[in-house]
Amino acid sequence: MANEEYEQIKFRNELIRLHAAEPFVPFEIILSSGDRVAVTEAMALVLSDDVLE
């Protein structure tokens, strides 16, 4: 369980880093299902503890 929590923290920190990049560089999030979500604009990403838990 502790490893899963650590992975969530690493994922969140990486999202914050990518979101804050100046200039913003588009990126993809690859879900465990294999689906991909493209983040093409900084304003297209919302971070919330409620969603990531």
The ranges assigned to domains in the chain are 2-52
> Which phi and psi angles does 29 have, rounded to 5°?
-110, 125
Question: Per the structure block, which two tokens stand in for 19?
Answer: 């979101």
How high is the pLDDT of residue 1?
56
3-state SS track over 25-49: CCEEEECCCCCEEEECCHHHCCCCH
Over its length of 53 residues, how does the chain's per-residue pLDDT go in tens digits? 578 887 888 988 999 999 999 999 999 999 889 999 999 999 988 877 775 54
> Which phi and psi angles does 12 have, rounded to 5°?
-60, -45
What is the gyration radius of the CA atoms in the chain, in angstroms?
12
State pTM to two decimals. 0.72
